[in-house]
Amino acid sequence: MAVTYYYGTGHRKNATAKVWLKDGTGQVVVNGRSLHEYLCRPTLEMLAMSPLALTNLGERFDLMVKCLGGGNAGQAGAIRHGIARALVQYDEALRKSLRAHGMMTRDPRVKERKKYGRKRARRGFQFSKR
């Protein structure tokens, strides 16, 4: 019997998440570790799993995720985006509800580049009067 996988790629800040869904019991593996062990913060776990919670499909799929780049929060957002895309590949009817909750849109906010004559993107050098 062939196993069916549903794939979605998610992005947030500088993080990328490759997400594979397959029929299972709700087990989540991120870079070879459990989600709880990988993200370490309950708020980030809730954020990452919100598409499954919204669609009530949390116990139906096993997830295998590969995360690259960014930090914890960026990777959690990327996982969320990837799961949402994979769910739409599983069932196109879920797109409307996921889009209404903003899970299908790639968050365009990224770090602003450093400018010349400045310490960072906007902060100037410290002024000394004397």
Domains of the chain plus CATH, in order, are 5-100 (3.30.230.10)
Q: Are 70 and 9 in contact (CB under 8 A)?
A: no
Write down the pLDDT at residue 1.
64
Q: Is the pLDDT of residue 58 over 90?
A: no
Mean pLDDT of the chain: 93
Residue 97 has a pLDDT of: 94
CA-nearest of 71, 64, 50, 46 to 7 is 64
Tell me the angle at which helices 42-55 and 72-90 cross, rounded to the nearest 10 degrees. 10
Q: Read off φ and ψ for residue 126, nearest 5 degrees.
A: -65, 135
122 pLDDT band, cuts 50/70/90, is very high
Rounded-to-integer distance, Cα 101 and Cα 109, Å: 18
The answer to whether residues 52 and 89 touch, using CB atoms and an 8 Å cutoff, is: no
CA 27/CA 68 separation, integer angstroms: 20
pLDDT of residue 115: 97
pLDDT digits (tens, 9 = 90+) for 67-120: 999 999 999 999 999 999 999 999 999 999 999 999 999 999 999 999 999 999
Query: Rounded CA gap, 69 and 71, in Å?
Result: 7
Convert the pLDDT of each residue in 13-42 to its tens digit: 999 999 999 998 989 999 999 999 999 999
This prediction's pTM: 0.90
